[in-house]
Amino acid sequence: MAAKPIKRVLIANRGEIAVRVIRCLREMGIESVVVYSDPDARSQARRIADYAIPLHGTTPAETYLNIPKIMAALKESGADAVHPGYGFLSENDSFARTVRDSGATFIGPSPESMGIMGNKVEAKKLMRRHQVPVTPGSIEPLSSLEELRALTSEFGFPMILKAAHGGGGRGMRVVRSDADLQAAFEATVREATAYFGNPEVFCERYIENPRHIEVQVMCDSHGNGIYLFERDCSIQRRHQKLIEEAPSKYLDESERHRLGRIAVTSALAAGYEGAGTVEFICEGPGRAYFMEMNTRIQVEHPVTEMITGIDLIREQLRVAQGETLSVRQEDLVVRGWAIEARINAEDPVNNFAPTPGLITQWQVPQGPFVRVDTHVYQGFEVSAAYDSMIAKVIAWGRDREEAIQRLTRALAEIEVRGVPTTARFHEAVLAHRDFRAGEFNTGWVEAHLDELKEVMVAADGSSLDAASILAAILVQEQGREETLGVAGARDKWKAAGRLSGVGRHA
């Protein structure tokens, strides 16, 4: 594939990933175009992008999931490429094909690769052909309740039902007895149809409280593939990741490279190009099963960037232009440790209820080796229409303990008024002896939630002694630096929020 320089990119997304892509584009001298819904009319992405086009609407279906509207914006903007970010249409092979057919470059894998790896059933069949270990379960989508019952007789309970085209923790049901099979099967089919537009469902043996380990891969159009090591995403609640770290304390060096090689094999088997993540479910350090591949950039990609020094968005753009990978596998080494905490507009004490509203005060962490990816600013309105994540705080250390200490310090600096957030929850997790020891799994948060709530309540002032215990583990670093984010942005970027339609910033 000959190099084809990209000049202008339309970002078919919103929030912090849109801001992240815009910043990379600016560093590379490539123009940016954002599309925005009515609630995002005053978004940070709109304020700093080179061009902005309204989608007119409130819900995702009306806006960021509306392929005809986004394609019309692509034509209007004159962009020659599309970056899908994560979520929304990022793993929609029909959208990728539509972009390609328009003559524009889709910054991601081909529609064919996306279709194979985006379908969990087809992906597992491909993995089996290439001797990649997969979780025992159905090979084809389930055709009936009777077929499901036959499989449970073969593999036993518990089983988990999953939407074949699902993701993000939706379209999933754990079944522990024959009495629950029918209701679970019918509910999963309904969710698969409602969320993903496809009723296909498959089943596999449910592994109780495993570790969730994923490997970042990058492939180019010249047949090269590399792995950029693993991330441990086992701190979850209801299949939603909360804290991610790289590398994983769970793996030794040999297992780290073994999973990496398996991940590259998986990607190249599908003819993959671009950034992708191969996810594994682990019963033990030496017993890891292929779970799925996310055919896009991940929310948690910053921790990989922090330990490798590789800008994954820049690498995506280089590959999309037909260039070869900028690094070889032998050039990559793990440097230190990085941990990311997702800051959501949710009330963790009140069952993580979403808390949309106006942010009246916004202060994010500062200091060395701390990164904050966010689209939020003081006066920003958190909409109930979209995901509740408002920031990611990432800290790097020379080792895991230093990374934990630095992230703890950074979280203590967060000052948000107007909406409750999950910042104190993350402090409580980082303080826990199990997390410090690296002894946790995907069920750990639910098992310790009451204990964590007690620490959060204490940290808010109801128990000075408990708050003092929590404070004792904080590493207080002195000095302030300029707030990360939009500080120092050129005045003409700020004018974007006043523009309507597509227009060059003056």
Report whether the peptide linkage leading into residue 39 is cis, meaning its omega lies within 30 degrees of zero: no
User: What is the rounded average pLDDT of the residues 427-435?
Assistant: 96
Helix/strand/coil (H/E/C) assignment for every residue in 471-493 = HHCCCCCCCCCCCCCCCCCCHHH
**Using H for helix, E for strand and C for coil, what is the string for 261-303?**
HHHHHHHHHCCCCEEEEEEEEEEECCEEEEEEEECCCCCCHHH
- CA nearest neighbour of 289 among 302, 279, 276, 299: 279
pLDDT in tens, 115-154: 999 887 788 889 989 888 998 888 888 989 999 999 998 8
Q: Which amino acid is at 500?
A: S
Three-class secondary structure of residue 55 per DSSP: coil
Enter the pTM of the model: 0.84
- Closest by alpha carbon to 22, among 36, 38, 8? 8
- pLDDT for position 502: 42
Structure tokens at 246: 């790289």
Q: Which of the 8 DSSP states describes residue 462?
A: I
Q: What's the one-letter identity of residue 322?
A: G
pLDDT of residue 196: 85
Amino acid present at 425: F
Instruction: Compute CA distances 191 → 195, 204, 308, whole Å.
Output: 6, 18, 38
Give the residue from 429, 434, 476 showing the smallest Cα distance to 455. Answer: 429
Percentage of the chain exceeding pLDDT 90: 75
pLDDT of residue 487: 31
Q: What are the structural domain ranges in the chain?
A: 8-107, 136-205, 211-472
Q: How far apart are CA 112 and CA 118, in angstroms?
A: 10
Dump pLDDT digits (tens) for 280-290: 999 877 789 99
Question: How large is the average pLDDT for residues 296-311?
Answer: 98
- Taking CA atoms, 232 is separated from 242, 279, 295, 424, in Å, by 11, 10, 18, 21
141 close to 204: Cβ distance less than 8 angstroms = no
What is the C-alpha separation between 163 and 172, in angstroms, rounded?
7
Alpha-carbon gap, residue 189 to 183, rounded angstroms: 10
Other C-beta atoms closer than 10 Å to the C-beta of 62 total: 15
Q: According to the model, what pLDDT value does residue 497 have?
A: 30
Distance CA 465, CA 459 (A): 9
C-alpha 164/C-alpha 170 separation (Å) is 11
Alpha-carbon distance 300 to 465, whole Å?
34
Under 8 Å between Cβ of 297 and 214:
no
In angstroms, the CA 293 to CA 448 distance is: 29
Which option is the CATH number for 211-472: 3.30.470.20, 3.40.50.800, 3.20.20.80, 1.10.3720.10?
A: 3.30.470.20
Is the pLDDT at 194 greater than 50? The verdict is: yes
Mean pLDDT value of segment 68-81: 98
What confidence score (pLDDT) does residue 505 get?
33
Given a cut of 70, is residue 338 above it in pLDDT?
yes
pLDDT of 1 over the 70 cut: no
pLDDT of residue 155: 87
Residue 498 pLDDT > 80, yes or no?
A: no
What average pLDDT does the segment 369-392 reach? 96
Lowest model confidence (mean pLDDT) among 29-43, 230-244, 346-360, 445-459: 445-459
pLDDT band at 456 (very low <50, low <70, confident <90, very high): confident
In CATH, the number for domain 136-205 is 3.30.1490.20
**Angle ∠(66,278,166) on CA atoms, nearest 5:** 40
- The first and second tokens of residue 124, run together, are 């597992």
pLDDT (average), residues 231-250: 96
pLDDT of residue 450: 93
Decide if pLDDT at 479 tops 80: no
**Whether pLDDT at 175 is above 90:** yes
Tell me, what's the pLDDT at 460?
66
Strand spans (E) along 247-399? 274-284, 287-294, 337-344, 346-347, 353-354, 357-358, 361-363, 370-374, 381-382, 389-397
Amino acid 135: pLDDT: 84
Mean model confidence pLDDT for the chain: 89
Options 3.40.50.1110, 3.40.50.20, 3.40.1000.10, 3.90.1150.10; CATH of 8-107:
3.40.50.20
Give the model's pLDDT for residue 284.
79
Mean pLDDT of 479-484: 30
Q: How far is CA 162 from CA 142, 174, 192, 220, 277, in A?
A: 10, 9, 8, 31, 19
Query: Residue 428 and residue 340: Cα distance in Å, rounded?
Result: 14
Q: For the residues 314-331, what does the mean pLDDT come to?
A: 97
Q: Give Cβ neighbours of residue 17 (< 8 Å, ≥ 6 apart).
A: 85, 86, 297, 299
Helix (H), strand (E), coil (C) string for 218-248: EECCCCCEEEEEEEEEEEEECCEEEEEEECC
Task: Give the mean model confidence (pLDDT) for residues 4-9.
Answer: 95
Q: How far apart are CA 458 and CA 61, in angstroms?
A: 41
Read off the pLDDT of each residue in 322-338 and give the average, rounded to a whole number.
97
For 417, phi then psi, to 5°, come to -125, 145
Phi-psi region of 351 (alpha: psi -120 to 50; beta: other; left: phi over 0): left
**Catalytic positions, written as ranges:** 296
